[in-house]
Structure 1
Amino acid sequence: MSLPSSDLRLVDFTNAAPSTLQTQVINAIDDANSFLDNLTAGADNSTGIAKLSAEQALADVMQFDHINLALDRSWGILSHLNGVMSNDEIRHVHHELLPKLSAYGTRVGQHQPLFTRYQTIADDTEFFAALEPARARAIELALRSFELSGVALPQAEQDKFAAIQSELSTLSATFSDHILDATQAFALPLQPNQLKGLTESGLALLADAGAQYKTRELANGTLSQTDIDALPTPYYVASLNIPIYLAVMTHADDRSLRETLYRAYVTRASEFDTHTNAKGESLNNADIMSQILTLREQKAKLLGFANYAEVSLSTKMADSVSEVETFLRDLATQATPAAQKDLAQLQRCAQDYGIDELQPWDSAYIAEKVKQSEFSLSQEEIRPYFPLPKVTSGLFAIVERLYGITVQEQSYEGADDHSVSRWHDDVRFYQLFDADDQLIGGFYFDLFARSGKRGGAWMSGFQSRYSYEEQNHQQLPVCFMVGNFTPALDGKPSLLTHEEVLTLFHEFGHGLHHLLTQVTVGDVAGVNGVEWDAVELPSQFMENWAWDAEGIALISSHVDTGEPLPKDKLDALLAVKNFQSGLQTLRQIEFALFDLLIHAHTPALNYEGILATLNAVRSDIAIMQTPDYNRFANGFSHIFAGGYAAGYYSYKWAELLSADAFSKFEEDGIFNPATGKAFRESILSVGGSFPAKTNFENFRGRSANIDALLRHNGFTDAKNTDAANAQTTREAI
């Protein structure tokens, strides 16, 4: 095994102490500010910026980009650790730096001499036309970013903008903290009679949580050693960590237990949540949500927009709030008949289990019963056929066939001289090679749920492909792919549900978008610079191979016998692809429409207004009642602590693009190497160096349309698609 290339510039996580990273971040900001100070001083003297050539302006821009690498790296590491290994020390340092980073980011966005350099490049039409497309696109996007940072505002308004940005960064971090703390604060020891129906893997998760519960309660003094010794072994404890929550909601026969967990989950960080943080402070996100909306509206008005939704859409494929709302409502109309059939199916089955009125805490449980009775499919029966090592090796085999790339796992600390440092023993590191054995980049897998790790799954494009010839600097792309899957238990590898398999494929699609770029201008390399409503295209696209018989054959074999997934189970799995797709689509549209409307509303909504908007959207879209106490919005980190504000619709928008892109593979053969090469070259390799619409049309040879999306979801035969709705969507994309 070879030593990882120095161009990967891998992190030494053993020495990545929070205090060290804090010093590195501050020093990096200081260095960048010194460069900006020099630009300001140069602009103030008599020879000044008026005589600046486009060539010199570009040299200054590229030098500044290079200076910022140090900040991107140190802050990227700290932010990553705060997501996957959060503790008081990391969180304190992370949050203490947020105002400094916000102030620096605002200064960059409002720095007139720097802005003038970008403008000088763009204004020299002959020079600009001769730039490589990636550099030209980066200049265009930077100029737009300057405008959205208030570069044209009077000084007093710039100061106000800066204060808003700083406060927003702190509020979003606190919002995220509250969700993590509320999730981890909940622990429910279970009685033997509450365990009925739970699977072997579910019980193992609960027992593992019980062991952690004993350790934690002893450490914080809540229970004495005598108390601990008196508890049974195994000791079963339910928590709100996703693998455990889903295990209970899907399989527990005890309906009151399911309701208890459901209520706890949907009231996290709300007025109904009585937990506090380590300082004894409330975890209620209500005020934070209204403050965030107010500040976003103020920011929008400063920039000359009517509302924050317009700010968000100014950088996306979609042109307007009305266009997105029409897209969502039209799709809801298409999905509602299927959703009504889905609900009726669940209600019929619920009667067989003595449930007269189906409730949200019954849905997953009854859905599993329907799968077993109508499709002869149990997630637990197929879980042993998806051991993580087989899934990952099959995933790597699939992308090798599609794109001609190979994956090689690296060794770790203490193994040999070629070891790679990690932040946790569960983490794995891989190198990615092209067909000619050329190293493309590297990626980390951190796939298991644990304490101190925020929920969900994500890809972090930590390090972009980048080169700077003036200092002979080359770096290859590196990313982190993170999940919260069921960990290895009882001496067996992690056994995935098919939902977890889909999640892994989804994040790996993001990873390929980041890693396979051929662009060396960091701002538009990989996922950088890609419109937010198109960035989910490669990830949703990748999921298709986990729904295909040929793909499933590569990622499945029984953990004990090595036998392939039996044909009856394979047929059942494929048949269940569109099971409940109507209800699931309406649920996503509900979230997306809520997000859009609260950010399009002026004046900014208070907490009561936020809840009223959510209820109104549910009245329009949902076909299943939601309890009055449900506070889903208080945990909606995508829009209050992530990058999806007025952009959650992107999942459905990009799903249309991905379905239409995959239809090309359906026409040509799903492992057709020529089609794979075309997708790689048209979509994955070019990153954000061209508009997403251009990239898609280069691959597909036409504009996107909705037919494949409706067909893939089982809503209608594409030939009978309502012409008006299809035309509306074609025009939207």
Structure 2
Amino acid sequence: MSAVSDNPLLDFTDLTHFDRITPADVEPAIRHLLDTASTTLATLEAADTPATWDDFVIPMTEATEHLGRAWGVVGHMHSVMDTPQWRAAYNDLLPEISGFYAELGQNEALYGKYRALHDSAEYANLSPVRQRIIDHELRDFRLSGAELPEAQKPRFKAISEEQSALGAKFSENLLDATNAFAEWVTDEAELAGLPEDEVAAARAAAEKEDRPGWKFTLQAPSYVPVMQYADSARLREVMYRANGTRASEHGKPEWDNGPIIGRLLALAAEEAKMLGYASYAELSLVPKMADSPEHALSFLRELGVKAKPYAERDLAELKAFAAKELGIAELNPWDMGYASEKLRQARYAFSENEVRQYFPEPRVLDGLFGVIESLYGVQLRHDTAPVWDPSVKVLRIERTGQLIGQLYLDLHARDTKRGGAWMDSARNRQRSGSRLLTPVAYVVCNFSPPVGDKPATLTHDDVVTLFHEFGHALHHLLTEVDEVAVSGIHGVEWDAVELPSQFMENFCWEWDVLSGMSAHVNTGEPLPRELFDKMLAARHFQSGMQMVRQLEFSLFDLRLYHEVDATQPVPIDTVLSLLEDVRKEVAVTKTPAWHRFPLSFAHIFAGGYSAGYYSYKWAEVLSADAFAAFEEAGEGRGSLLDAATGQRFWREILAVGGSRPALESFIAFRGREPQVDALLRHSGMLEAA
């Protein structure tokens, strides 16, 4: 598209024109916004621009707001519609975007204006929220290299640009390697054990390519059921091996993430050293709640000491069951999910697939909306707006008829969508003059799409995932802060940002919630209480093994960015050796030497969790303790959907966003500092505390 005036990426009057935007719009729109922002920043740098909130901070914020929103759309499309055209449009402009923000972070004149404002008489008269924003800006300028000698700034900028490019390439390699694999089954006997829905989906996938038999892929809706239900050990092993060697030296050389990891570690270490930190982990933790890498490592290891005995017991029970009941004398890694599901069924007399039939997607969404409406007194309505795929839903949140925010919901797996589930901001709440811009969010999942005339059904794990991502979305949408820098999820410490999301997961284990959001996909019958009681009894099933697995990921991440000598690109063997060392400390299961888990660990190499994966466990302590307030309020009432406690949670946690330290927000809600007991209780490990 040649003309800037009619470029849909530049229309910020309302929701994004996803029906009109094409990859060809990206280059002219982003270049225009880069030029506009640069011109404004040049004016703000000038000596005659006063270092005041109104004359400097407000235009400084506005200078990058439209650029951030437009580039956010491009990044979103790169994640959910990763066609060759969108990939090229994203990657072509990524170096310029990275370079712009790197230069902005190093701009000594702008940094000086913030310092001058901080040292001025005006600072003392600003609200605590605005003072916090200025303090954060000063910190972020320092971490972006603003205080570096001029001679070092080009190198620091180059590091930032290369990190962005490598992160994008890591994700693309993983997606391409995932999509490239297919296991074609022509012998119907190999389908034994698989649920009918999964067999039908595999058959539909084969028919789509005009081939006989059944097609299985590494996308989660196809891969997970095979590992959980397929009686064929051969099929499970083939799928496990393919999944475990994605984007590695075992596949196409151009998709090998090993060299990317080595280079990313070297760049992170160089960045940290330039800023005066001993490791990238030290640098990463500056804006987080944990005081130091040692603090976070100590926290993880304490949990490991409590969890490992439970994990060892879980594994011993599984091995005994597999040998006696399944004839599996030696439990291979591709047998773990299968044997675990069989043990679950034997012990609790239900299967995940049986539960799944009670959670058709429309009913689950209605139930989720009901929880949100009960807790916060808001209303969720379906909305109409342009979308990037016909399956995407648009929602609006209102309170007494007043629009609070809007949400895009993209639930189903597609070949062009990266794996996993996430929430991202599409627009931040902000006040511009007399006009209030309401926030907008994306919630993206990779659930199984509907097959035939039936609605899609969700596993209970899917339901938990949906609640989790909606927790993030509510944190963004229910903010009452008008300053962009600390509105919603912005400015919240990274190791506290999972509090609202993990908090929401707990409601998925409450009878009054689940019973109200269930209806058998064939009969319409609600979830039987007997089946729920079995699910509840099984809640802590293998919780020890689950916890040490998360601790393994967290310790590996933190130690990788804190202990490994990355003065040069790190060989993948060094990375794998460290992982093996971590496994000796906390893991109870054996992973094959050929497995290449780090090469698909996108969270810490392409997802912003570098030296921060421990945040999930850290925030789980906060979220479990916060949920305990609802348990206390609902004691004896039969329901935890207590509106008064919900309003307090909104007021003290969700509404304030990053406008004050997360610990202050938690104490304001709970009346005290967080305690680990609730997490241990929810994990069935309180007796070990």
Q: Is this contact kept in 2: 1:61–1:114, CA < 8 A?
A: no
Distance of 2:552 and 2:111 partners within structure 1: 40
Distance of 2:334 and 2:147 partners within structure 1: 52
Q: Percent of aligned positions with the same letter in both sequences?
A: 44
Q: Would you say 1:511 and 2:459 are equivalent positions?
A: no
Q: Deviations over 1:81-115 (max 9, x none)?
A: 11001011100110111110111001111112211
Q: Residue type matched to 1:132 in 2? A: S
Q: Would you say 1:440 and 2:404 are equivalent positions?
A: yes
Q: Deviations over 1:587-614 (max 9, x none)?
A: 0000000000010025214322111100
Partner of residue 605 from structure 2, selected from 637, 640, 643: 640
Q: Residue type matched to 1:502 in 2? A: V
Partner of residue 664 from structure 1, selected from 625, 629, 633: 629
Q: Would you say 1:115 and 2:111 are equivalent positions?
A: yes
Distance of 1:363 and 1:298 partners within structure 2: 40
Distance of 2:17 and 2:653 partners within structure 1: 32
Q: Deviations over 1:197-219 (max 9, x none)?
A: 1111111221222134x1xxxxx
Distance of 1:537 and 1:208 partners within structure 2: 39
* 1:120–1:473 distance in 2 versus 1, CA, 3 Å: farther
* 1:83–1:301 distance in 2 versus 1, CA, 3 Å: same
Q: Would you say 1:405 and 2:378 are equivalent positions?
A: yes
Q: TM-score w.r.t. structure 1 length? A: 0.90
Q: Deviations over 1:479-538 (max 9, x none)?
A: 000000011112111100000000000000000000000011111100011000000000
Distance of 1:309 and 1:451 partners within structure 2: 34
Q: Which residue does 1:586 correspond to in 2?
A: 548
Partner of residue 691 from structure 1, selected from 642, 661, 667: 661
User: What's the RMSD between the two structures over aligned residues?
Assistant: 1.4
Q: Is this contact kept in 1: 2:44–2:60, CA < 8 A?
A: no
Q: Which residue does 1:132 correspond to in 2?
A: 127
Q: CA deviation at 1:573?
A: 1.0
Partner of residue 369 from structure 1, selected from 328, 342, 345: 342
Q: Deviations over 1:278-298 (max 9, x none)?
A: xxx621111110000000000
Q: Deviations over 1:130-160 (max 9, x none)?
A: 2233222211111110000110111111111
Q: Which residue does 1:728 correspond to in 2?
A: none
Q: Would you say 1:92 and 2:54 are equivalent positions?
A: no
Q: Which residue does 2:312 correspond to in 1?
A: 340
- The 5-angstrom pairing of residues 515-530 of structure 1 reads 515-530=477-492
Q: Which residue does 1:290 correspond to in 2?
A: 262
Q: Would you say 1:463 and 2:458 are equivalent positions?
A: no
Q: TM-score w.r.t. structure 2 length? A: 0.95
- The 5-angstrom pairing of residues 202-601 of structure 1 reads 202-212=198-208, 214=209, 228=210, 231-232=211-212, 235-273=213-251, 275=252, 282-351=254-323, 352-411=325-384, 420-434=385-399, 436-469=400-433, 472-601=434-563
Q: Residue type matched to 1:466 in 2? A: Q
Q: Which residue does 1:66 correspond to in 2?
A: 62
Q: Which residue does 1:650 correspond to in 2?
A: 615
Q: Report the secondary structure of 1:14's partner residue.
A: coil
Q: Deviations over 1:10-35 (max 9, x none)?
A: 11111111121222111111111112
**Count of residues in Structure 1 that have an aligned counterpart in Structure 2:** 669
Q: CA deviation at 1:8?
A: 8.1
Q: CA deviation at 1:59?
A: 2.2
Q: Report the secondary structure of 2:91's partner residue.
A: helix
Q: Residue type matched to 1:331 in 2? A: L
Q: Is this contact kept in 2: 1:271–1:284, CA < 8 A?
A: yes
Q: Which residue does 1:37 correspond to in 2?
A: 42
Partner of residue 622 from structure 1, selected from 574, 583, 587: 587
Q: Residue type matched to 1:301 in 2? A: K
Partner of residue 152 from structure 1, selected from 147, 170, 174: 147
Q: Residue type matched to 1:106 in 2? A: A
Distance of 1:466 and 1:8 partners within structure 2: 14
Distance of 1:29 and 1:554 partners within structure 2: 50
Q: CA deviation at 1:615?
A: 0.7
Q: Which residue does 2:651 correspond to in 1?
A: 681
- The 5-angstrom pairing of residues 719-730 of structure 1 reads 721=689
Q: Report the secondary structure of 1:535's partner residue.
A: coil
Q: Which residue does 2:194 correspond to in 1?
A: 198
Q: Is this contact kept in 2: 1:9–1:475, CA < 8 A?
A: no
Q: Report the secondary structure of 2:404's partner residue.
A: strand
Distance of 2:12 and 2:437 partners within structure 1: 5
- The 5-angstrom pairing of residues 161-172 of structure 1 reads 161-172=156-167
Distance of 2:134 and 2:127 partners within structure 1: 11
Q: Would you say 1:76 and 2:72 are equivalent positions?
A: yes
Between 174-183 and 669-678, report the one with greater CA deviation: 669-678
- The 5-angstrom pairing of residues 690-709 of structure 1 reads 690-709=660-679
Distance of 1:266 and 1:534 partners within structure 2: 31
Q: Which residue does 1:189 correspond to in 2?
A: 184
Q: Report the secondary structure of 2:16's partner residue.
A: coil
Q: Residue type matched to 2:136 in 1? A: L
Q: Residue type matched to 1:200 in 2? A: E
Q: Report the secondary structure of 1:282's partner residue.
A: helix
